Amino acid sequence: MLTERPTGVLGGTFDPIHVGHLRTACELLAGLDLAEIRFIPARLPPHRPPAAAPEALRLRMLEAAIRDVPGFRVDDRELRRTGPSYMVDTLQSLRDELGARPLCLILGFDAFMGLPTWHRWREIPGLAHLVVARRPGFAATVEGELGELLAARSIRDPALLGRVAAGSILVRDVTRLEVSASAIRDLMAKGGDPRYLVPDAVRELLLKTHVYANPEEVRFSAQ
Protein backbone atom coordinates (compact mmCIF):
# COMPACT_ATOMS: atom_id res chain seq x y z
CA MET A 1 0.00 0.00 0.00
CA LEU A 2 1.28 3.45 -0.94
CA THR A 3 1.59 6.35 1.46
CA GLU A 4 2.59 9.21 -0.80
CA ARG A 5 1.25 12.72 -1.23
CA PRO A 6 -0.58 12.85 -4.57
CA THR A 7 0.10 15.09 -7.54
CA GLY A 8 -2.91 17.14 -8.60
CA VAL A 9 -3.69 17.68 -12.29
CA LEU A 10 -5.69 20.73 -13.36
CA GLY A 11 -6.28 21.02 -17.09
CA GLY A 12 -8.06 23.64 -19.16
CA THR A 13 -7.59 26.25 -21.83
CA PHE A 14 -6.82 28.93 -19.20
CA ASP A 15 -8.07 31.55 -21.63
CA PRO A 16 -7.26 33.38 -19.37
CA ILE A 17 -6.25 31.89 -16.01
CA HIS A 18 -8.31 33.67 -13.32
CA VAL A 19 -8.90 33.82 -9.57
CA GLY A 20 -11.56 31.11 -9.72
CA HIS A 21 -9.03 28.59 -11.02
CA LEU A 22 -6.43 29.72 -8.52
CA ARG A 23 -8.62 29.79 -5.43
CA THR A 24 -9.92 26.28 -6.11
CA ALA A 25 -6.38 25.02 -6.66
CA CYS A 26 -5.18 26.73 -3.49
CA GLU A 27 -7.91 25.15 -1.36
CA LEU A 28 -7.39 21.68 -2.80
CA LEU A 29 -3.61 21.81 -2.51
CA ALA A 30 -3.86 22.48 1.21
CA GLY A 31 -7.08 20.64 2.04
CA LEU A 32 -6.08 17.39 0.36
CA ASP A 33 -2.39 17.61 1.29
CA LEU A 34 -1.29 17.36 -2.33
CA ALA A 35 2.43 17.41 -3.10
CA GLU A 36 1.78 19.76 -6.03
CA ILE A 37 -0.78 20.81 -8.59
CA ARG A 38 0.22 20.81 -12.23
CA PHE A 39 -1.61 23.35 -14.39
CA ILE A 40 -1.78 21.83 -17.88
CA PRO A 41 -2.99 24.17 -20.65
CA ALA A 42 -4.72 22.48 -23.57
CA ARG A 43 -3.42 23.03 -27.09
CA LEU A 44 -6.60 21.90 -28.84
CA PRO A 45 -9.54 21.35 -26.46
CA PRO A 46 -11.84 18.56 -27.70
CA HIS A 47 -15.09 19.84 -26.12
CA ARG A 48 -15.04 23.55 -26.86
CA PRO A 49 -13.94 26.02 -29.54
CA PRO A 50 -10.23 26.77 -29.88
CA ALA A 51 -8.79 29.24 -27.40
CA ALA A 52 -8.94 32.93 -28.31
CA ALA A 53 -5.45 33.71 -27.01
CA PRO A 54 -2.36 32.23 -28.68
CA GLU A 55 -0.73 29.25 -27.00
CA ALA A 56 2.40 31.19 -26.12
CA LEU A 57 0.40 33.93 -24.42
CA ARG A 58 -1.78 31.51 -22.46
CA LEU A 59 1.36 29.77 -21.26
CA ARG A 60 3.00 33.08 -20.31
CA MET A 61 -0.11 34.18 -18.39
CA LEU A 62 -0.20 30.88 -16.53
CA GLU A 63 3.47 31.10 -15.64
CA ALA A 64 3.01 34.68 -14.44
CA ALA A 65 -0.04 33.76 -12.36
CA ILE A 66 1.63 31.02 -10.33
CA ARG A 67 5.22 32.21 -10.24
CA ASP A 68 6.72 31.70 -6.79
CA VAL A 69 3.60 29.95 -5.46
CA PRO A 70 4.78 26.87 -3.55
CA GLY A 71 3.18 23.69 -4.83
CA PHE A 72 1.96 25.15 -8.13
CA ARG A 73 3.66 24.09 -11.35
CA VAL A 74 3.07 24.67 -15.07
CA ASP A 75 3.21 21.59 -17.29
CA ASP A 76 3.15 22.29 -21.04
CA ARG A 77 2.97 18.70 -22.31
CA GLU A 78 -0.35 19.22 -24.12
CA LEU A 79 1.01 22.26 -25.95
CA ARG A 80 3.88 20.11 -27.19
CA ARG A 81 1.62 17.28 -28.35
CA THR A 82 -0.11 17.23 -31.73
CA GLY A 83 -3.79 16.45 -32.18
CA PRO A 84 -6.65 17.02 -29.72
CA SER A 85 -5.68 17.46 -26.09
CA TYR A 86 -7.29 14.32 -24.72
CA MET A 87 -6.93 14.05 -20.94
CA VAL A 88 -6.58 10.27 -21.09
CA ASP A 89 -3.38 10.72 -23.11
CA THR A 90 -2.11 13.35 -20.68
CA LEU A 91 -2.74 11.13 -17.67
CA GLN A 92 -1.08 8.18 -19.38
CA SER A 93 2.02 10.27 -20.09
CA LEU A 94 2.10 11.40 -16.46
CA ARG A 95 1.66 7.82 -15.28
CA ASP A 96 4.55 6.72 -17.52
CA GLU A 97 6.68 9.50 -16.04
CA LEU A 98 5.71 9.27 -12.37
CA GLY A 99 5.17 5.53 -11.97
CA ALA A 100 2.89 4.57 -9.10
CA ARG A 101 2.65 8.04 -7.56
CA PRO A 102 -1.00 8.90 -6.82
CA LEU A 103 -2.54 11.30 -9.34
CA CYS A 104 -5.66 13.40 -8.72
CA LEU A 105 -7.49 14.81 -11.73
CA ILE A 106 -9.29 17.97 -10.57
CA LEU A 107 -12.66 18.64 -12.22
CA GLY A 108 -15.50 21.04 -11.68
CA PHE A 109 -18.86 19.36 -11.14
CA ASP A 110 -20.10 20.32 -14.61
CA ALA A 111 -17.02 18.78 -16.19
CA PHE A 112 -17.50 15.65 -14.11
CA MET A 113 -21.11 15.36 -15.29
CA GLY A 114 -19.85 15.51 -18.86
CA LEU A 115 -17.17 12.87 -18.33
CA PRO A 116 -18.98 10.19 -20.39
CA THR A 117 -18.49 12.38 -23.47
CA TRP A 118 -14.70 12.38 -23.03
CA HIS A 119 -12.39 10.33 -25.23
CA ARG A 120 -11.81 6.87 -23.68
CA TRP A 121 -13.30 8.15 -20.44
CA ARG A 122 -13.63 4.72 -18.85
CA GLU A 123 -9.83 4.45 -18.73
CA ILE A 124 -9.43 7.64 -16.70
CA PRO A 125 -10.23 6.21 -13.22
CA GLY A 126 -7.55 3.61 -13.80
CA LEU A 127 -5.00 6.36 -14.31
CA ALA A 128 -5.99 8.88 -11.62
CA HIS A 129 -8.30 9.62 -8.76
CA LEU A 130 -11.04 12.11 -9.58
CA VAL A 131 -11.39 15.13 -7.30
CA VAL A 132 -14.66 16.90 -8.07
CA ALA A 133 -14.71 20.52 -6.91
CA ARG A 134 -18.26 21.48 -5.91
CA ARG A 135 -19.80 24.76 -4.86
CA PRO A 136 -21.18 24.56 -1.30
CA GLY A 137 -24.86 23.66 -1.33
CA PHE A 138 -24.80 22.46 -4.93
CA ALA A 139 -26.68 19.22 -5.52
CA ALA A 140 -27.22 17.21 -8.68
CA THR A 141 -28.40 13.72 -9.49
CA VAL A 142 -25.74 11.63 -11.18
CA GLU A 143 -27.33 8.83 -13.16
CA GLY A 144 -26.41 6.08 -15.59
CA GLU A 145 -22.94 4.65 -15.87
CA LEU A 146 -21.40 7.73 -14.28
CA GLY A 147 -23.72 7.40 -11.30
CA GLU A 148 -22.71 3.77 -10.91
CA LEU A 149 -19.05 4.77 -11.06
CA LEU A 150 -19.57 7.42 -8.39
CA ALA A 151 -21.43 5.02 -6.12
CA ALA A 152 -18.74 2.37 -6.45
CA ARG A 153 -15.69 4.59 -6.06
CA SER A 154 -16.77 7.51 -3.85
CA ILE A 155 -14.66 8.23 -0.77
CA ARG A 156 -14.87 10.88 1.96
CA ASP A 157 -11.44 10.68 3.57
CA PRO A 158 -8.79 12.61 1.58
CA ALA A 159 -6.04 10.56 3.23
CA LEU A 160 -7.13 7.61 1.10
CA LEU A 161 -5.95 9.43 -2.03
CA GLY A 162 -2.34 8.85 -1.04
CA ARG A 163 -2.68 5.13 -0.40
CA VAL A 164 -3.33 3.92 -3.95
CA ALA A 165 -2.30 5.34 -7.30
CA ALA A 166 -5.77 5.89 -8.78
CA GLY A 167 -9.39 4.83 -8.80
CA SER A 168 -11.27 6.84 -6.15
CA ILE A 169 -13.69 9.75 -6.50
CA LEU A 170 -13.71 12.52 -3.89
CA VAL A 171 -16.30 15.30 -4.06
CA ARG A 172 -14.97 18.36 -2.26
CA ASP A 173 -16.65 21.69 -1.53
CA VAL A 174 -14.68 24.79 -2.52
CA THR A 175 -15.31 28.50 -2.23
CA ARG A 176 -17.88 29.72 -4.72
CA LEU A 177 -16.48 32.45 -6.97
CA GLU A 178 -18.64 33.57 -9.87
CA VAL A 179 -15.78 34.21 -12.25
CA SER A 180 -15.45 32.77 -15.74
CA ALA A 181 -12.91 33.09 -18.51
CA SER A 182 -15.67 33.80 -21.05
CA ALA A 183 -16.98 36.70 -18.94
CA ILE A 184 -13.47 38.15 -18.72
CA ARG A 185 -13.06 37.89 -22.49
CA ASP A 186 -16.42 39.60 -23.03
CA LEU A 187 -15.52 42.32 -20.54
CA MET A 188 -12.26 43.07 -22.28
CA ALA A 189 -13.85 42.99 -25.72
CA LYS A 190 -15.98 45.90 -24.48
CA GLY A 191 -12.97 47.81 -23.19
CA GLY A 192 -13.34 46.76 -19.56
CA ASP A 193 -10.60 46.22 -16.99
CA PRO A 194 -10.14 42.70 -15.48
CA ARG A 195 -8.66 44.05 -12.24
CA TYR A 196 -9.27 41.66 -9.29
CA LEU A 197 -10.59 38.96 -11.66
CA VAL A 198 -7.09 37.85 -12.62
CA PRO A 199 -3.70 38.17 -10.89
CA ASP A 200 -2.00 41.53 -11.45
CA ALA A 201 0.72 39.96 -13.59
CA VAL A 202 -1.92 38.43 -15.86
CA ARG A 203 -3.84 41.72 -16.03
CA GLU A 204 -0.67 43.47 -17.21
CA LEU A 205 -0.23 40.97 -20.05
CA LEU A 206 -3.89 41.26 -21.06
CA LEU A 207 -3.80 45.05 -21.15
CA LYS A 208 -0.48 45.05 -22.97
CA THR A 209 -1.47 42.61 -25.71
CA HIS A 210 -5.17 43.59 -26.12
CA VAL A 211 -5.71 39.91 -26.89
CA TYR A 212 -9.46 39.88 -26.26
CA ALA A 213 -10.16 43.44 -27.41
CA ASN A 214 -8.43 43.19 -30.80
CA PRO A 215 -7.40 39.55 -31.31
CA GLU A 216 -6.61 40.07 -34.97
CA GLU A 217 -3.93 42.58 -33.97
CA VAL A 218 -2.22 40.49 -31.31
CA ARG A 219 1.48 40.06 -31.80
CA PHE A 220 3.01 38.08 -28.99
CA SER A 221 6.40 36.50 -28.70
CA ALA A 222 7.21 33.82 -26.16
CA GLN A 223 10.70 35.26 -25.88
Question: Quick one: pLDDT at residue 17?
Answer: 98
Residue 212: the pLDDT is 95
Mean pLDDT of 75-98: 97
Distance separating alpha carbons of residues 212 and 16, to the nearest angstrom: 10
pLDDT, greater one: 142 or 34? 34
Residue 138's pLDDT is what?
A: 74
Could you tell me the sign of the dihedral formed by the alpha carbons of 94, 96, 97, 102, in that order? positive
Region 100-111: mean pLDDT is 96
Region 92-115 average pLDDT: 96
pLDDT at 2: 58
| φ, ψ dihedrals at 120, nearest 5° | 50, 45
Question: Considering only CA atoms, which of 75, 41, 51, 8 is closest in space to residue 182?
Answer: 51
Burial 43-74 (b: 16+ CB within 10 A, else e): bbbeeeeebbbbbebbbbbbebbbeeeeebeb
DSSP assignment of 105-152: EEEEHHHHHTGGGSTTGGGGGGT-EEEEEE-TT------HHHHHHHHH
Distance of alpha carbon 156 from alpha carbon 141, whole angstroms: 18
Tens digits of per-residue pLDDT, 124-141? 999 999 999 998 877 778
